[in-house]
Amino acid sequence: MQTEHLKVTGLTCGGCINSLTNALKAVAGVSDVKVILATGETSVQYDEHATSPAQLRSAIDNAGFAAEPG
């Protein structure tokens, strides 16, 4: 398992956290997602054999948010 730490922008409420969490958990290999609304800090635990950081960032973009390495 790997952990990717990202800074996600565009989060404004609990609904945003739910949308982001659901989008990331829909990616094959993701086992855990933690998001801090106030800072946008997001950590994603995933199986590196099933997905990649690029796929995680793509899921975030598709959910309407932006991400950069955290």
- Phi first, then psi, for residue 26 (nearest 5°) are -75, -15
pLDDT in tens, 52-61: 999 999 999 9
What is the structure's pLDDT at 58?
Answer: 95
Please check the confidence at residue 5 and state whether its pLDDT lies above 90: yes
- Domains of the chain (ranges, CATH numbers): 2-69 (3.30.70.100)
pLDDT mean over 12-27: 95
Q: Examine the pLDDT at 68 and tell me if it is beyond 90.
A: no
Alpha-carbon gap, residue 59 to 55, rounded angstroms? 6
CA distance 13 to 46: 25
pLDDT of residue 45: 97
**Whole-angstrom distance, CA of residue 51 vs CA of residue 39:** 25
For residue 27, what pLDDT is reported? 97
Predicted pLDDT at 21: 97
